[in-house]
Amino acid sequence: MKKRIFIGSSSEQLSILNEIVDLLGSDVECIPWTDAFTLNKSGLDSLIKQTRLADFSILIATKDDLTKQRGESLTKPRDNVIFEFGLFLGAAGAEKCYLIAEEDADLPSDLDGITVAKFSRTTGQYNSLDKIVESIAVQIEKSSEMSQLGLLPSTALAIGYYNSFLKRVCEELHTTESIEIEGKKMKVKSFKIDVIIPESLDDNGVGNFTTLYNKKHGLSKATTSSNPAIRGARGYPFHFKIDPPDANQDNPIDIHLSDIPSTLSTIVESLKLYLPTNLVGQDFDLDYLEKRELENFAKVLKYLISRNVATREYIAVHSDASLA
C-alpha cells in the first residue's frame, strides 16, 4: 500500500514542488496542494481533511516575500506555507511532517533550535534538493515501519486484541494442553493459530465475513479448557480444524486454530465519525483510511507476537483475506 504524502508550497514555487514529486518517485502517492482543495469547501476545511488522509507531509519554505523587520530587509516564506506546516505538525506529529527551507530564508523564531532541512538551489552541493529529498524518503521509509497511537483506533485495538485474547489463548494451551469441544475435553499435542484479517470491511464489520469464512473452510467451534487452579480463569472461544481431519481424537491431536478479530468492526464506526459523509456511493478516501487501519492493525499485531516466546512460533497473521 503506497503512503500518501501531502506537499505544500507557494504558487510561485510549483517547479520545485514538481521536482520533489519526481524525486520521490512512484513508490509513494504524492498529493500536491494544487490537487487538495475541494469545490464548494473552504480552504481550511480541505486542508484539515488532508491532515487526516495524508500519512506524511512536506512543506516547502522558499524566499518568496521581501519584508522589513526592525529596519532589516529579510526574505521570508509565504505565510500560508508556515501555517500549513503548523497545521500538519499538530495533526500528525514531528515524525511525519517535514519542512524543507531554502537557504537563508527567514523562519519563525519558534523553529530556532530545531533541525530544519535547508536546501541549496545549486546542484552538486551537500544540501542540494535531490539529497535533501533522498534523506526525507529514507526517514519516511523508517517511520512507515513504526506504529503510533492516533485518532483512529487500529494500534490500540491490536494491543487490546493481543493482550486480552491471543496471548491468553496461547498461555492456556501451553498450560492445559487441552481444548473443549461440545463439553468434551481433548488433549492437544501441538497447535497453530491463524489470525485472519479481511481485505476490506463491510457495514457489518467482520460479522458476515466471519460466518462465511468459517463455513467455507469447514471450521468448528471450540474453547480452551478453563484452568480451575486459576481464580477467574475461563475458556476462550475460537474456530479450529484438526490436522489431519481423520486423526484419532482419542489421542493428543494437532490443531489449527483460526480467528477473525471481531474488534476490527470498531474501525467501521470510527471512520464514520472521523470522516463523515452524507453521500451514497463509494468513498475512495474512506476506503484508503480503512485499508490503512487494517494494514496498521496487522503490523502492530505481528510486532507484539514476535516479542513473546509464548506466541512467537505459534501465531501467523494473514492479511488481505477474501472469500474468493
**Positions marked active-site:** 84
- For cell 516547502, the residue is 60
Q: For residue 48, how many other CB atoms are within 10 A of its CB? A: 13
Give the C-alpha separation, 10 to 22, whole Å. Answer: 18
What is the crossing angle of helices 43-53 and 79-92, to 10°? 40
Q: Which of 26, 6, 23, 11 shows the shortest CA–CA distance to 119? A: 23
Q: Contact at 8 Å (CB) between 323 and 309?
A: no
Q: Which of 49, 78, 53 shows the shortest CA–CA distance to 65? A: 78
DSSP state for residue 16 in the 8-state scheme: H
Report the run of H or E that residue 130 belongs to, with start and end. helix 129-144
Q: Which of 77, 105, 69 shows the shortest CA–CA distance to 86? A: 77
Q: Which three cell numbers stand for residue 72?
A: 532589516
Give the C-alpha separation, 284 to 320, whole Å. Answer: 18
Give the C-alpha separation, 13 to 10, whole Å. Answer: 6
